[in-house]
Chains A and B, each alone.
Chain A
């Protein structure tokens, strides 16, 4: 079979384009039709806009951090404009608030909801061939809880800022006069938003899989989402409880964490990380799911080691609950506890490594298209591998004594959270963009953005590993002059990363204005979302599709005339209806 031809004896099945009435974006009009929508796709799009705004704000704060660290005594916040803006605050105070808000907004408002709530909301029902999630109203309320949480963060910022670091460590957080209560209330509400989303997905995946989709015929993105949802439902309540205790201590002086009232400050760290370490996997597991889809589709090859990848997601979700203590290796835990946590920490690295090997084996002997999503996926594997491997230096107790709370840690988790989750998120957005909005973007532009983000990111964070191993502590507004050249490199990298991200945004906005209409299946994917039109009709599928293997690419061929992938099926003897009236044939060959 040569490129771009349909073999004889086969016919093409393609849903074509949606009409204006079918298209979920245009089937009803007006702001209220969005605000009160129960359509998971619209909720997903609203999340996408929301988390992107949060990311923009937190990203600009990150640039502020980097620009301040250009000089040993600080640069940006020493400028006179900041004295005019905030005359009560010293440059150090501004820096402390900026890094706190950068972390808090990135974690609570961007990374945690980014993949599950934005992409997941759009994709989970479509991948299941379903009309919607199990509880559409819960889904909408989860979005509004996110908005309410964001409002509390904005109020905290406007009231007196927040200077505790996103970790709210006691007794600093119980004694500072910044808006801790507003911010923790915001985080508390966001926790419920996260729980609602997780609960919804668990029920949806358990009960709404179509005929033929057994657990092991689910796309891996659904496995990853399922594992994530379990963590969201089990761990987030602990964060809620912890933040309530913190608020109780601040307002009523009940002695829990503050030694002044006979509390124990390290208890807070245990409570906090019992949620926040699993939360790290809330952030990275969905990214693994995206990468499994991207690598397989753009290599046009079956995913290698499906069961190992699926099980490793569950293993990470469970093991992730047992390693929180590694955030406290220097806090003065007992020796035995410390050593046990170190041993458990090493076990988490195994399932992560399995995934990397499986992705590489999927690329082996594939038919790789270096599209924008594939370039982001390759970038992800590179960066996540560094992030994962440098975790070994921190899990090892002896080296952690030196590296704990230095820039080595900062670099490590940015390689995982940004090089991992953010890059996978961008890859996912570029991969599903044609499906979500129905237009193609400039491939060249998309690839340039992937390269800029990759280079900018490495230039920002590779020097930070060296800063850390040389002893530069994190969360410093000023630093010793010997660290300046590495800090300057990092700052220039951050600017390049910023250029790359704005470039990616420009490519997407340009596609909305000038992009070509997207076919149903631009990449040759075999999961169900590529069987409905781009963008999907309001009800996704006219009838529940019968499901085949999500990674079977044998019956998908490239149609070079119309620049689309189409599913081919053996010509049938009798054609009962006219093909124009027969939309969305999924897995038709089983019929």
Chain B
């Protein structure tokens, strides 16, 4: 519906464009309404400003000269400018409500993805235990997001799709959209080159710098737009639009479990980057919202309640599943629980990854003590019993 010339304004490469690129069926409709309102506003604004400055210039007089007129009312003109613009308001309201209803009417049979938000990461649930921070959808296929939050209110916003919805704890909010432009894939040589570089430095993937995902897709930004604390502005992820359903399913399969033959510690690092650990825990010893993993494994850890505990497999596992049970001294109990969101193998891989970051001599010494404990843990998990009662530990947060 938008006039062709206006789409020129929506060029993302231009620093001063009005809109980000448009990549969903909603974009064109919403942009059109935006331009319509803007033009109506200009039709009012320009005459108002011309009159404002024009009168100030034309009727500027020396002190003491009386005004040319003392006319102080004209009922006709006052009624015209009071009632006249109302008709335009009705038109705006109508287009606004129509666009809104189309965003709220979720088509039957839409492709469903679960969304869970937590401080400060996103977990997109593709079913069968595949959870990944990136949102992957198929072009031309209606996609429905069922969203809830683990802690405070967040809000999921995809500027290129012109959609936004708060993600509220204790209830499900829904959103749907239909993507219209598939993400490009970068050339394999470039992807390999960059992947190699990250492998050498060991850094976490920098989406802003590379402008494509570790799988080589260009992407659309996804922001959190409800203020949620320290790393609110880093609570971003990306949206990738696949050409076909098969391509999406292949991508999902790639992340369904630890690939055959991959070292648990290597896979653990991937989980660390993918599942939100890295937004609070550094690998280089620097202090973030949570303690760094570097050199921790095997050491004694001071807790907030004055106790201390050995940083071993059991402690890592408990901290992932019941993070508020034993909080490190000097840190706030803000980590969400990953219970039910990570498989046993995932937790195992993370433990192995964190172990690989510890001082080798300390790790070796700790290994002997806790081997027995590690077995107990996996047995306990099978029975579904918890090392600590969750509600009791929640009090630490308040």
Contacts and interface: CB of A to CB of B under 8 A. Distances in A.
Interface stretch (B14-22, B179-187, B188-196, B364-372): B14-22
A55 to B, nearest CB: 24
Contact of B65 (A176, A259, A367, A404): A367
Contacts of B95: 396, 398
Given A349-B89, A393-B38, A300 B81 contact: no
Interface string B2-22: 000000000010011111100
A406 B230 CA distance: 18
Interface in A2-28: 2-4
B63 A560 contact: yes
Interface stretch (B150-158, B308-316, B345-353): B150-158
A102 B59 CA distance: 40
B16 to A, nearest CB: 6
A479 B55 contact: no
A392 B97 contact: no
B61 A368 contact: yes
A172 B49 contact: no
B250 interface: no
Contacts of B98: 398
B65 A382 contact: no
Interface residues of A, number: 106
A524 B52 CA distance: 21
B229 A367 contact: no
Contacts of A346: 89-90, 92-93
Contacts of B326: none
A171 interface: yes
B72 A304 contact: yes
Given A300-B67, A332-B173, A346-B89, A401 B163 contact: yes
Contacts of A361: 77
B72 A401 contact: no
A393 B234 contact: no
Given A302-B70, A471-B157, A398 B16 contact: no
Interface in B41-80: 41, 44-45, 48-49, 51-53, 55-56, 59-73, 77-78
Interface string A298-312: 011111111110000
A52 interface: no
Interface of A: 1-4, 90, 92-93, 96, 163, 165, 169, 171-172, 174-177, 250, 253, 259-260, 262-266, 299-308, 330-332, 335, 338-339, 342-343, 346, 349-350, 353-354, 356-358, 360-361, 363-370, 374, 378, 381-382, 385-386, 389-390, 392-393, 395-402, 404-406, 466, 469-471, 473-482, 485-486, 524, 551, 553-554, 557-558, 560
A261 to B, nearest CB: 10
Contact of B56 (A331, A368, A474, A551): A368
B55 A382 contact: no
B16 A466 contact: yes
Nearest to A465: B18
Given A306-B72, A477-B232, 16 more contacts: A92-B231, A171-B152, A176-B229, A265-B153, A332-B165, A350-B82, A360-B55, A382-B49, A396-B33, A398-B29, A398-B97, A399-B99, A400-B96, A405-B157, A469-B19, A558-B64
B64 to A, nearest CB: 3
A172 B152 contact: yes
Contact of B66 (A1, A402, A404, A481): A1
Contact of B89 (A174, A350, A374): A350
B169 A393 contact: no
Contacts of B228: 172
A385 B49 contact: yes
Contacts of B60: 368-370
Interface in B131-159: 151-153, 155, 157, 159
A466 B82 CA distance: 30
Q: What are the nearest 6 A-B pairs in CB distance?
A: A398-B99, A471-B159, A259-B170, A558-B64, A396-B96, A3-B64
Contacts of A306: 72-73
A386 B398 contact: no
